[in-house]
A and B are shown apart, each in its own frame.
Chain A
Amino acid sequence: EPEVTQTPSHQVTQMGQEVILRCVPISNHLYFYWYRQILGQKVEFLVSFYNNEISEKSEIFDDQFSVERPDGSNFTLKIRSTKLEDSAMYFCASSELGDRGTNYGYTFGSGTRLTVV
Chain B
Amino acid sequence: DQQVKQNSPSLSVQEGRISILNCDYTNSMFDYFLWYKKYPAEGPTFLISISSIKDKNEDGRFTVFLNKSSKHLSLHIVPSQPGDSAVYFCAASVGYGQNFVFGPGTRLSVLP
Does any Cβ of B come within 8 Å of A107's Cβ? yes
Number of interface residues of A (CB under 8 A): 33
- Which chain A residues lie closer than 8 Å to B98 at the CB level? 48, 56
- Which chain A residues lie closer than 8 Å to B51 at the CB level? 100-101
Of B21-29, B70-78, B101-109, the segment with at least 4 beta carbons within 8 Å of chain A is: B101-109
Which positions 7-55 of chain B face chain A at CB distance < 8 Å? 32, 34, 36, 38, 41-49, 51, 53-54
Digitize B83-112: 1 where CB-to-A-CB distance is under 8 Å, 0 elsewhere.
000000100000011111111110000000
- Which chain A residues lie closer than 8 Å to B100 at the CB level? 45, 106
Q: How far is the CB of B23 from chain A (nearest CB, A)?
A: 12
- Which chain A residues lie closer than 8 Å to B45 at the CB level? 108
Digitize A98-112: 1 where CB-to-B-CB distance is under 8 Å, 0 elsewhere.
101111111111110
- Which chain B residues lie closer than 8 Å to A44 at the CB level? 102
Does any Cβ of A come within 8 Å of B67's Cβ? no
8 contacts between A and B (CB under 8 A): A42-B103, A43-B102, A56-B98, A91-B43, A98-B96, A104-B49, A105-B46, A113-B41
A-binding residues in B (CB < 8 A): 32, 34, 36, 38, 41-49, 51, 53-54, 57, 59, 89, 96-105
